[in-house]
Amino acid sequence: MTFAVHADGLTKRYGRRTVVDCLDLQVATGDRFGFLGPNGSGKSTTVRMLLGLVRPSAGTVRLLGRSMPRYARQVLPKIGALVEAPAFHTFLPARVELAALDEAGRGASWRTRRVRIENALERVGLGDIDDRPISRFSLGMKQRLGLAAALLRRPRLLVLDEPTNGLDPQSIREIRDLLLELNTEGTTVFLSSHLLSEVEMLCTETAIICDGRLVAHDSLDALCGPTGRVTLRTPDTELAAHLLERVLEGRDGYSLVARTKNPMALNAALVSAGVRVSELVVERRTLEDVFLELTGGDPDGDREFVPDEL
């Protein structure tokens, strides 16, 4: 497996304070990777170390297979990044600013600059922007412009830190759709965000840090596994409730909630006993459940998992 991001033992200390503590990260090429943590957990510091903006106190970073910051001049032109609030020359119009940013970089032809700028603006929803100075942009427009700057070079890796800050729900959805499209085209997406719902809808792999330490690093499917509960609907509620008496947690009309480690076995047992099961839904943990449990909360701490026979 090839990695777009590979950090080993990444550590950052400021005096006696350790902000990031021996962090290991692996982001496979082609992934949509969500990087989560509470405020002050070390997320932004980690992102800055990955991009060579902050020098680690210990550990190593490889981006696109090359050591950072040693090969930064070769690697960074292949990476698009939006880190926190984008900084612009606010007296310039958007197109002039993007042209200046593109000229200051490496590895892209000036001959294609105008086309690439228009394509980037179009993709982030600013294709019809006029020549007003950036100082007159809303926060959401500045975020879109920052994302356009990250897309100028058709990046192989896109590193985003809170890219939807200041955007309304419709705009957030548009950016999510854009990131899915870019990923389909071959761009690896590394998304640091506090919006758990966005990570849950967009990402396939997730890492969570707390107090600078890694507390989870797995696929979203693995992290958000079954809770040990199922909800079933049946017209035979009395019979089903009798059969499920020992594991029944609740009932509402034709719906019953039961604990089980084996939903298929439970369904088979009910059907064999003459219960007409019209629907059976396995309850899964949400990313919010996982996040709160690993970073200090435990919304599911009282859940009891199953008797083996059901």
Question: Each residue's pLDDT tens digit in the chain (310 positions)?
Answer: 789 999 999 999 999 999 999 999 999 999 999 999 998 899 999 999 999 989 999 999 999 999 998 999 899 989 999 887 677 888 899 999 899 888 877 767 778 889 989 999 998 889 888 889 988 988 888 888 989 999 988 899 999 988 887 788 888 888 899 999 999 999 999 999 888 988 999 999 999 999 999 999 999 999 998 989 999 999 999 999 999 999 999 999 999 999 999 999 999 999 999 999 999 999 999 999 999 999 874 333 333 223 333 3
CATH hierarchy code of domain 3-222: 3.40.50.300
List all residues 6 or more positions away from 28 whose beta carbon is below 8 Å from its beta carbon.
Answer: 1, 2, 3, 4, 188, 205
Residues 104-154 have pLDDT tens digits of 777 677 788 899 899 999 988 898 888 899 889 888 888 889 899 999 888
Looking at domain 225-294, its CATH architecture is 2-Layer Sandwich (3.30)
| CA distances from residue 60 to 23, 52, 66, 205 in whole angstroms, order as listed | 10, 11, 11, 21
Cα atoms in the 13 Å half-sphere on the side-chain side of 139: 9
pLDDT at 171: 86
Residue limits of CATH 3.30.70 in the chain: 225-294
CB 183 within 8 A of CB 150: no
Residue limits of CATH 3.40.50.300 in the chain: 3-222
Residue 55's nearest CA partner among 42, 65, 45 is 45
